[in-house]
Chain A
Amino acid sequence: MARAELMDFDKALELFEPVMGFEVHVELNTKTKMFSDAPNVFGSEPNTNITPTCLGLPGSLPVVNAQAVRYSISLGLALGCEIAPSSRFARKNYFYPDTPKNYQISQFDEPIAFEGSVDVELSDGSIVSVPIERAHMEEDAGKLTHVGGSTGRIQGAEYSLVDYNRAGVPLVEIVTKPIYGAEHSSPELAKAYVSTIRDIVVSLGISDAKMERGNLRCDANVSLRPRAAAGEPVAPLGTRTETKNVNSLRSVERAVRYEIQRQAAILAKGGSITQETRHWHEDTGETSAGRPKSDADDYRYFPEPDLLPVVPSAELIEELRSALPEPPAARRRRLKAEWGFTDLEFQDINNAGLLTEITETVAAGATPAAARKWWTGEIARIANTSDADAASLVSPADVAALANLVDAGTLTDRLARQVLEGVIAGEGTPQEVVDARGLAVVSDDGALIAAIDEALLGQPDVLAKIRDGKVQAAGAVIGAVMKAMKGQADAARVRELVLERAQQV
């Protein structure tokens, strides 16, 4: 649907109540895969991190990764869930070439964690409790690359390539219950919820949580129902759509907003919503129809006979519970105090979803003030103009290195911004960019003095004024020197030297 046909967001909220639900897939960063001892590593040559089990070869069998179970229990506990004393794996049967066995080992009626809730903080400081239905363990599928078509999708492709490196990577799928009452804040809550899940898995250390790499993937379910007039019963839930694989925080917010506006436009015209999956298009900011999805999809689930039930001991559960890191809300209160930021400064960071980046930048050696300045300033500006997530542009370690180069006097702020551009362009670490571009501040007094003497002698009238004590005249010389040094000099030092040399040349 073209943007112009969407219903105005406020108008949509006037007519309809949005109801949301999320399925967030978290890839665990265990050393090996969920059911085999193949390495769980991102970015390897295709089809190198595989065993007979990853390929579903005849005769191969799955074996549960104990570390993945521990991670899943920790995550369940952090989501406030109950941990099942016994849970079972089940086979989800469907044919698709990225699924080597043509069934996915997942959990169905007996998930490892269930009935929890997560407190999510909105930009106005209010807390929304999102109800969690379950968190269950499963295996990721391989990665398909469709070649020959114009869209990169399977339709129109000449052939497709499959990389099974990802097949069998451990996943936890977190499923919320329907979320009511978010109203105008729905898109914001969607983003804040996923951001909170990301904070939790990062604090647990169980996932790399890079959305751009698919470590964290969100499927957003949205439905609308008409507002009931006073005294009338509440309308039943509307038909939902499921927007798949929304892979940045910003996109989650935009996709939910788009779906609300799109569905409202259709419903207001008397149309009906098709129950389907929808694809999110980052470039156009729109969703498009995927495959029809009905509640009657028959995956012929049955208990996985190759695996025994997962029966964690009460001691293990308590051990993991006692090792849980502080919840995100408490963590935010602590960080705010530690960093000494004002309410406004801290809210800015939190709303921008930059808490983790700044924490990591501080951990990498930057001061809190410098970390905040870079992330909410120049990096956020570039992210905005390039329509990207700030976190995907540059690593916290690089930001810390950049801030330290400024503190050490190697770079001026202006030079540091050029270095940042280089880092984002993939030219290397800040130090590598400084070296390659030759951007460091010239701190060799010899070179400066030569330039200053030349400038002073070239402007005898100015020299005379300075010698007369008209210090402000030095500006002209400083400008000339900075120009000669191509900006790579510390202006304060140049000024000092100019005043000194004026008495000596």
Chain B
Amino acid sequence: MSDDIIRLSASELGERLAAHEISAVEATQASLDRIAAVDGGVNAFLHVATDAALTAARDIDRRRGSGEKLGPLAGVPIAVKDVLVTTDMPTTAGSRILEGWVPPYDATSVRLVREAGLIPIGKTNMDEFAMGSSTEHSAYGPTHNPWALDRIPGGSGGGSAAAVAAFEAPIALGSDTGGSIRQPAHVTGTVGVKPTYGAVSRYGAIAMASSLDQIGPVSRTVLDSALLHDIIGKHDHHDSTSLRDRWPSMAEAVRTADVSGMRIGVIRQLDGEGFQQGVLDRFHESLALLEKAGAEIVEVNTPNFEYAISAYYLIMPAEASSNLAKFDSVRFGLRVTPEGGGTVEDVMAATREAGFGAEVKRRIILGTYALSAGYYDAYYGSAQKVRTLVQRDFNAAFAQVDVVASPTAPTTAFKLGEKSDDPMAMYLNDIATIPANLAGVPGISLPAGLAAEDGLPVGIQFVAPARADERLYTVGGALEKLLEAEWGGRLLDQAPDLTQLIAAQEGAR
């Protein structure tokens, strides 16, 4: 029974809960049991909130029992990326500098999922302050890809993606600054959406780069992401960049998905050189399916995308260097006093020296340099100009097509440790995802199949114009249906048995 529950999608589970076939306590316990069984091998969770989750689940059961009308995901367990502050769980953002910190407030997105009756079951692992593409930069050890434990689950949100792929939770919250929701979805055979910048409140999301960060859903099906998107996509007066749009239902877009007449632009610059063959094969198969379903596939040109990574790696560290200044030991978090005491400056420096990992320090230094007098125009200033050019590329593309498509990332999951010493190689992972963040436009990654050469999952990415998030769910929902008809089920049904993988790994030790 418990095994059946964990394999249900969030929407399926929601329906069974609404029909009183499963209780929220049972659903929550099933997730907790699965975590207990496999997370030793996956390390998706930094904190599991057993008591708080069961208490919340009992409350939902009581309310449902008293006849209260609850939302479609009420009683469904949800994993929360540790970048979001939570009052009942510690929040570390994957950093030693926040170890043990329990925030006095809930992030708006967390408040909204609680209000919708979802059950936060724990906080998921991530690259420290969301800086990375593999979770190897977490201060609490890497997360392992449930498809192959020696491989990366993507990053920075590898914990949320792996938790969903490992059936530890049906759904999760992530954050995406340069691809941290979509690239992990790509390498774990799951779905991830970065909404339009401003569609979801950033209040309570520990900032890496404020002008790029966006909170979004992580799930196993497109419909589940849509349902979560509908819950968290609300205006918030705590966030000045929060949009006031009246959004159409994303879930409705999935349920009525029809791509006939839709114009899909293939980005020439992200289709070929530098991309693994198996990734390109699955990409083109997906496009062929969409074309057969009535979509029109055209090529679009985005000449400035080649500068996007360079611009991103100036703007992101510049903002991060300032956002991370608050971690100084004075008001919260780690405090390290140098031997023999010292001034407040000495204590701040010792704390930051001990509390931040190497990648965080690298980006703080890069960003501080990029903003320095005399260098500002050449670095930060130029990067902002490139950002405008990338936005223009998208504008030109969207004048021709409804959405653009590309592989989500150049390769399938690489091995843990493979790129740890090569930041540039690591940064190139985000080549296809970064442009959407620079332009503030929404993007989705959903499973496109397995690469023939390594049998690992491959994702396909669609990007829509700002505020047209529902188009992602239309094309994503339609393609998912077409692909699952081909596969005869979900892609994750083809994933190896995780308990056997873990046993084999332990046997090998």
Q: A64 contacts B240, CB within 8 Å?
A: yes
Q: A61 contacts B239, CB within 8 Å?
A: yes
Q: A300 contacts B371, CB within 8 Å?
A: yes
Give Cα A58 to B95, complex, Å: 12
Contact pattern, A 31-63, Cβ under 8 Å of B = 1, otherwise 0:
000000000000000000000100111111111
Give Cα A179 to B125, complex, Å: 59
Most B Cβ at <10 Å: residue of A102, A103, A300: A300
CB contact under 8 A between A61 and B240, given known A93-B322, A300-B371: yes
Q: A58 contacts B332, CB within 8 Å?
A: yes
- What's the minimum C-beta distance from A78 to chain B, rounded to whole angstroms? 27
The answer to whether the Cβ of B205 comes within 8 Å of any Cβ in the partner chain is yes
Kindly list chain B residues whose C-beta atoms are within 8 Å of the C-beta of A100.
326, 330-331
Q: B344 contacts A160, CB within 8 Å?
A: yes
Kindly list chain A residues whose C-beta atoms are within 8 Å of the C-beta of B240.
61-64, 306-308
Contact pattern, B 72-115, Cβ under 8 Å of A = 1, otherwise 0:
00000000000011000001010000100101110100000000
CB contact under 8 A between A95 and B207, given known A63-B237, A64-B240, A302-B371: no
CB contact under 8 A between A91 and B322, given known A57-B331, A58-B93: yes
The answer to whether the Cβ of B504 comes within 8 Å of any Cβ in the partner chain is no
Kindly list chain A residues whose C-beta atoms are within 8 Å of the C-beta of B203.
59-61
- Residue on A nearest B328 in the bound complex, by CB: A102
Contact of B326 among A56, A61, A64 (CB under 8 A): A56
Kindly list chain A residues whose C-beta atoms are within 8 Å of the C-beta of B107.
59
Give Cα A56 to B330, complex, Å: 11
The answer to whether the Cβ of B345 comes within 8 Å of any Cβ in the partner chain is yes
- Residue on A nearest B332 in the bound complex, by CB: A57
Give Cα A97 to B346, complex, Å: 12
Kindly list chain B residues whose C-beta atoms are within 8 Å of the C-beta of A2.
none
Give Cα A102 to B348, complex, Å: 11
Q: B330 contacts A57, CB within 8 Å?
A: no
- What's the minimum C-beta distance from B100 to chain A, rounded to whole angstroms? 13
- What's the minimum C-beta distance from B212 to chain A, rounded to whole angstroms? 9
The answer to whether the Cβ of B483 comes within 8 Å of any Cβ in the partner chain is no
Contact of B322 among A97, A302, A308 (CB under 8 A): A302
Q: A59 contacts B322, CB within 8 Å?
A: no
The answer to whether the Cβ of B502 comes within 8 Å of any Cβ in the partner chain is no
- Residue on A nearest B213 in the bound complex, by CB: A305
- Residue on B nearest A51 in the bound complex, by CB: B105
The answer to whether the Cβ of B265 comes within 8 Å of any Cβ in the partner chain is no
Contact of B330 among A61, A97, A301 (CB under 8 A): A97
- Residue on A nearest B205 in the bound complex, by CB: A59
Kindly list chain A residues whose C-beta atoms are within 8 Å of the C-beta of B104.
52, 57
Contact pattern, B 167-208, Cβ under 8 Å of A = 1, otherwise 0:
000000000000000000000000000000000001111110
Which of B372-380, B407-415, B424-432, B455-463 interfaces with chain A?
B372-380
CB under 8 Å from chain B, chain A span 264-323: 296, 298, 300-302, 305-308
- What's the minimum C-beta distance from A493 to chain B, rounded to whole angstroms? 66
Most B Cβ at <10 Å: residue of A59, A95, A97, A101: A59
Contact of A102 among B85, B93, B326, B371 (CB under 8 A): B326
The answer to whether the Cβ of A388 comes within 8 Å of any Cβ in the partner chain is no
The answer to whether the Cβ of B368 comes within 8 Å of any Cβ in the partner chain is yes
The answer to whether the Cβ of B319 comes within 8 Å of any Cβ in the partner chain is yes
- What's the minimum C-beta distance from B101 to chain A, rounded to whole angstroms? 8
Give Cα A7 to B243, complex, Å: 62
- What's the minimum C-beta distance from A88 to chain B, rounded to whole angstroms? 12
Q: A308 contacts B241, CB within 8 Å?
A: yes
CB under 8 Å from chain B, chain A span 88-107: 91, 93, 95, 97, 100-103
The answer to whether the Cβ of A335 comes within 8 Å of any Cβ in the partner chain is no
Contact pattern, A 372-407, Cβ under 8 Å of B = 1, otherwise 0:
000000000000000000000000000000000000
Give Cα A488 to B244, complex, Å: 71
- Residue on A nearest B348 in the bound complex, by CB: A95
The answer to whether the Cβ of B318 comes within 8 Å of any Cβ in the partner chain is yes
Kindly list chain A residues whose C-beta atoms are within 8 Å of the C-beta of B84.
59
Give Cα A298 to B372, complex, Å: 7
- What's the minimum C-beta distance from B153 to chain A, rounded to whole angstroms? 24
Kindly list chain A residues whose C-beta atoms are within 8 Å of the C-beta of B277.
none
Most B Cβ at <10 Å: residue of A63, A95, A305: A305
Kindly list chain A residues whose C-beta atoms are within 8 Å of the C-beta of B332.
55, 57-58
Q: B328 contacts A298, CB within 8 Å?
A: no
Contact pattern, B 347-376, Cβ under 8 Å of A = 1, otherwise 0:
010000000000000000000100111001
- Residue on A nearest B315 in the bound complex, by CB: A305
CB under 8 Å from chain B, chain A span 351-376: none
Give Cα A306 to B242, complex, Å: 10
- What's the minimum C-beta distance from A496 to chain B, rounded to whole angstroms? 71
Kindly list chain A residues whose C-beta atoms are within 8 Å of the C-beta of B204.
59-60
The answer to whether the Cβ of A175 comes within 8 Å of any Cβ in the partner chain is no
Kindly list chain A residues whose C-beta atoms are within 8 Å of the C-beta of B269.
none
The answer to whether the Cβ of A482 comes within 8 Å of any Cβ in the partner chain is no
- Residue on A nearest B373 in the bound complex, by CB: A298
Kindly list chain A residues whose C-beta atoms are within 8 Å of the C-beta of B238.
61, 63
Kindly list chain A residues whose C-beta atoms are within 8 Å of the C-beta of B103.
52, 57-59
The answer to whether the Cβ of B19 comes within 8 Å of any Cβ in the partner chain is no
Contact of A302 among B331, B345, B380 (CB under 8 A): B380
Q: B331 contacts A95, CB within 8 Å?
A: no
Q: A55 contacts B211, CB within 8 Å?
A: no
Give 22 CB contacts A-B under 8 Å: A52-B105, A56-B326, A56-B331, A57-B332, A58-B101, A58-B326, A58-B332, A59-B84, A59-B85, A59-B204, A61-B238, A93-B371, A95-B325, A95-B348, A97-B344, A100-B326, A100-B330, A102-B326, A102-B328, A300-B373, A300-B376, A302-B319
Additional pairs, 11, CB under 8 Å, beyond known A57-B85, A57-B326, A300-B376: A58-B93, A58-B101, A59-B84, A59-B91, A59-B107, A61-B239, A64-B240, A93-B325, A302-B319, A302-B380, A306-B241
4 pairs of A and B residues whose beta carbons are closest in the complex: A102-B325, A305-B210, A300-B371, A305-B211
Residues of A participating in the B interface, judged by any CB pair closer than 8 Å? 52, 55-64, 91, 93, 95, 97, 100-103, 160, 162, 296, 298, 300-302, 305-308
Residues of B participating in the A interface, judged by any CB pair closer than 8 Å? 84-85, 91, 93, 98, 101, 103-105, 107, 202-207, 209-211, 237-241, 318-319, 321-322, 325-328, 330-332, 344-345, 348, 368, 371-373, 376, 380
